[in-house]
Structure formats: C-alpha cells, structure tokens
Chains A and B, each alone.
Chain A
Amino acid sequence: MRILAFAEQRDGKLKKVAFEVAHAAVQLAGQIGAEAVGLVVGEGAERVGSELGGFGVQKVYAADDAKLSSYSTTAYARIVSDAAETLSADIVLFPASAMGKDLAPRVAARLKAGLAADCIALKWDGGSIVATRPVYAGKGLIDLKVNSPRKVFTLRPNVFSPGSANGAAAAVEKLNLNLQDTDFLARVTGVTVTKAGRPDLTEANIIVSGGRGLGGPENFKMIEDLADVLGAAVGASRAAVDAGWRPHEDQVGQTGKTVSPSLYVAVAISGAIQHLAGMSSSKYIVAVNKDKDAPIFQVADYGIVGDAFEVIPELSAQMKKALGKD
C-alpha cells in the first residue's frame, strides 16, 4: 500500500506545509507498513520535487507541465486522483491550506473516498487510522474513522512536525499527464499579495491580535509594530473587524480563522466564546487587558491587567532589545 503526500508548492517553492504533510505520511507509513510517496504539481515540479528527499520521502512524482503555471482546481484534482489510482495509493494526505482545502474535497469525491478534514493527529489504532480533528471551531474534538477503502485527510498547518532534513536524495519521476483544455474549466489568472512582509495567520508561529479595547483602527499601529518585532502575523477580534478597523481576513475566531501558533498575544481583547474557540489551542497565550475579569485571562498563560497603550509600546521596545533588533 502507498500513502500519497500532496506537497504544496507555489512559485516553484515548496511550502512549509509540504514538509509537514510529507513527514506525516512517512510516520503513518511506518506505523502501517506502507510506502510514503510525494506528489508535486505545477510548472517546475520536477526540480522542486527533489527537495522533499531529505525529509524521508524517497520517491517523488512530479506533475510538471507549462500549462500548470498557475493553480487550477479542476486540473489539479484530475492529476492527483489519477496519480492516486495509477500508484495504487489508497491514502492521500493534503495540507488544510487554501489550496489543500480547495482540492481535497474534489479528489475525495472523484475517488469516492471519505474525507477527514483539518486533522490535528493521525494514529494507527487496531487496524484502522484514527484521525483527531477540532469541530465547532475548536470547542470540541472528534476522533474519526474513514470507512471507505480510499481515504483522504487534510492536515492542519503548523501542527504536524515538518521533520528535519537528513540529506538523503529522492528519486523524482515525471508523470504522464495528457492535459486537455476541458481540465481547465477553473483556473487562476492572477495572485494579489496583501500581506507582504508578514506571515499569514494560518501559517504564523506567533500572532499578535487586537480587539475593541484599542478604540480605533489607528491604534492597530502598535499591534503591527509589536508583530514586526516578533516576526508575527496580525490578527483581530470579530468586534474590531465588524467595526471596520481591520479586514475580514484578519479575524480570529469561530467565524474567522482558527489558529494554533506557538505564541498568541491578545491585546485589549475581552475573549468572547467565539474568539476563545479560535485561539485556545495556541501553545502559549499572553493577554493584556484593563479588565481583570475579562474571560481572556481564563485561558492566558501570562497576563498583564493593565493599559495596552502603556504596556504594548514598552513590550515592543524591550522585546526589540532582547532580540537584538534595536
């Protein structure tokens, strides 16, 4: 049996999630006695694919074609499904990234495979794979079994270890694609980068978020300053987004992003249940809030009951020194 790891690349570079998914495939393969193989799709995939080698995947298949210079949900779905069939890979792993979440349900439907989405753990237990995943934005967890012969899993970014490079090479084999125009009924024609220089919320190791207590959009400047010192992403509570202070894509919580960074700094956020659901699985939480009864302190590892306008600039300044960035 084979496990196929969809190793996401954009612009000719493997994403961090590609290593996370490949490493998870190798680990799962070890437990069930299967072979983990990688799949890279896109123009230049053959060159990109070799980078997966040192992370434990010995065989990488490349869907490399000039027609694949940009993402196409329909063409990619056909390629991944065909590869799974040709390679007899009954298990396909994707990252639960923007691309993986767009692609995995199509591949699952095509392969008539059950889908376990946004998994935070996979384990081999008594002859079947048990996937653990959050539901209700993290207010609950479920253990899930996929009963169909073919199975598709998407793995939440930033949760699975990417492993470490061991220097081993991977054999890259180019797939025969035979792409038709009808494979491109949906295709990407352009990409707009809005967050240049800062990591995305779903990928960030550190997040600094601001809430209604900041009083206005102009005061997010100090959140951004602290984020830049820490190399962090900027988030916001729903209250701050609904007030029009921050764009929708910055919202953390049940109707925004669910995040699990190593460090989450909540500034002037009271901690509504929807917000707590979206960030409670962060490894460490720091809260700065004037109200000592704010629910955010119930989940915070470290709290300062004080004025954000005084504490945050000081934190930025001292952090800068501590990190040698001044």
Chain B
Amino acid sequence: MKLFVCVNQVPDTETKVKIGQDGKSIDRSEVNLILNPYDEFAVEAALQLKDKNGAEVTYVSVGGDSTKEVLRKALAMGGDKGIHIKTESTGDSYSVASMIASALKDAGADMVLFGKQSIDYDDAAVGTMVAEMLGVPSASVVVKLNVDENAKKVTCEREIEGGTETVELAMPCIISAQKGLNEPRYPSLKGIMAAKSKPVQEVAPGTVEPLTEVIEMRKPPAKQAGKILGTDKSAVPELIRLLHEEAKVI
C-alpha cells in the first residue's frame, strides 16, 4: 500500500499573535514553529497501517526551507521518505491544494492523510480540495479509521454535531484526522537518527495563483476584565441578577 501524509509547519499553540510589518500576517520573528498538531494524528494513523499491513509512507509538505524540519520530525516518528514542495509563497488553501494535487497526480497513492486543519489559518480545506482535484472521495474530521486493503474500502467515523457519522469510501481516497483518532507516538532517539538519512526530494511547485487575498490582519478587540462579584456562594444571587438584567442572556 502506498500512503501519503501531508504535513504542515505552523506556529506553536503557545504563540501570542503579533501583527507583522505588512499588516496582513503575523510577525514570525520570535515564533516557535512546530508540526501541525492535527497532522500528528494523520502521521500516526499511517504508521499504524504500516506496522500492521506493511506500507510505504511518504510525507509531503509545502513551504520554504524551514519546512524540512516538519518532514524530519514526521520521518523521526517513522515512515520512508519526504517530498518538499519548495516555495516561499504558499498562497491560500486553493493554491496549496493545487501544488499538492500536481505532486500526487501520478504517485499511485492508495490513501492520502491530512490533519483536519492547520492551526494557523484554520481553513480546514486543503485535504478535501486535493480530493476533488484528484477526483477521489474523502472524509474529513475522522476519529476512527478502518482500512480494508483487499476490498479497497475504507470505513471511518467522522465527527458531526452531537455525534459521529460512519462513512464508507472507495480507495484511493483522502481522509483528514481529528484529535481522538489515536495517540501519536514520540520519535525515539533511534528514529531521530534514522530520519537524517531518509530521502527528502525537493520539487518545484507549478505556477498557481491564490484565489483569495488578505487585505488586513488585526487583533480582535481586547476583552476588558469585568467585575469580581465575591469569593463564595453568597455572590450567586448577584450573578444571576446581572446575567438576567445586564447581560440579558438568561
């Protein structure tokens, strides 16, 4: 089985957003970059399939030089090789999806896995767009995954409002992983050493223009600290009064 996992480099969740000079993106000068947390579930899912049935696992990432770090991180968890689609201008979900779709078009993938969204722009769109561009079925926000290689069928559960729905997909297909799918492994020291010699191929993206344009980025209006009503249950009546009369939410 040939599995591909698309991984992305994003600012750490600890990051305090500071608007950059251009007024359209964040100031990345003091930002710690990590492997997108949701992508770790996708990596783990692929590695579990490899452990169980045997598979070739290839990671794909789009971005500048620093992107290699997340490919190495994923390779340290396991898997075989990386493809680095090298570009300084990633654009938007549509252009990133187009770049990934061209790289995967003739790759013979049985399944491509993504994290359900990148925690920077939170579009939750690239995996599903790639599926449409490649003409294969997809399921997003997957919390349970079962692959029947012989029947070329994937059965998974995806999260919906108030529950889950079971989806059957014909392979090849694309899924995007949600927290809860598995517990991602930590890279072992041996894995980290081995990752250094695993092949990472650099490829040039085609020319793809983004279809959207950021005009401005700003911080949301700051919340003002409100009233402290008390230090024990005697404050409860006043809280109820304020919720009813001032906030009018009950």
Question: Of all chain A residues, which has the CB nearest B230?
Answer: A304
Asked if residues A314 and B128 are in contact (CB atoms below 8 Å), the reply is no
Asked if residues A130 and B225 are in contact (CB atoms below 8 Å), the reply is no
Question: Of all chain A residues, which has the CB nearest B126?
Answer: A105
Which of chain B's residues have a CB closer than 8 A to the CB of A307?
232
Asked if residues A281 and B220 are in contact (CB atoms below 8 Å), the reply is yes
Question: Of all chain B residues, which has the CB nearest A186?
Answer: B137
Tell me the minimal C-beta distance from A151 to chain B in angstroms: 8
Cα(A14)–Cα(B219), bound, Å? 35
Asked if residues A144 and B213 are in contact (CB atoms below 8 Å), the reply is yes
Which of chain A's residues have a CB closer than 8 A to the CB of B198?
none
CB-contact partner of A301 in B19, B178, B215, B247, under 8 A: B247
CB-contact partner of B94 in A115, A135, A138, under 8 A: A115
Which of chain B's residues have a CB closer than 8 A to the CB of A140?
17, 19, 26, 217-220
Chain B interface category by residue count: 35 or more
Cα(A315)–Cα(B240), bound, Å? 8
Asked if residues B162 and A105 are in contact (CB atoms below 8 Å), the reply is no
Question: Of all chain A residues, which has the CB nearest B124?
Answer: A101
Which of chain B's residues have a CB closer than 8 A to the CB of A113?
211
Which of chain B's residues have a CB closer than 8 A to the CB of A74?
137
Tell me the minimal C-beta distance from A126 to chain B in angstroms: 11
Asked if residues A106 and B243 are in contact (CB atoms below 8 Å), the reply is no
Which of chain A's residues have a CB closer than 8 A to the CB of B17?
136, 139-140
Q: Which of A20-28, A167-175, A189-197 contacts B (4 or more CB under 8 A)?
A: A189-197
Q: Which of A50-58, A60-68, A282-290 contacts B (4 or more CB under 8 A)?
A: A282-290
Question: Of all chain A residues, which has the CB nearest B216?
Answer: A143
Question: Of all chain A residues, which has the CB nearest B242?
Answer: A302
Tell me the minimal C-beta distance from A314 to chain B in angstroms: 4
Cα(A262)–Cα(B250), bound, Å? 10
Which of chain B's residues have a CB closer than 8 A to the CB of A138?
220
Interface residues of A in 182-209 (CB under 8 A from B): 185-196, 198-200, 202-203, 206
Please give the residue numbers on chain B whose beta carbons come within 8 Å of chain A beta carbons, in ascending order: 11, 13-17, 19, 24, 26, 37-38, 92-94, 97, 119-129, 131-133, 136-141, 143, 155, 157-170, 173, 178-180, 210-220, 223, 225-233, 235-237, 239-240, 242-244, 247, 249-250
Given contacts A139-B17, A297-B225, 14 further A-B contacts (CB under 8 A): A105-B124, A108-B94, A115-B93, A136-B17, A136-B122, A140-B220, A148-B211, A191-B160, A192-B163, A193-B162, A249-B143, A283-B249, A303-B227, A305-B230
Closest 9 A-B residue pairs measured CB to CB?
A: A114-B211, A186-B137, A248-B180, A109-B132, A185-B137, A105-B125, A301-B226, A105-B128, A200-B161
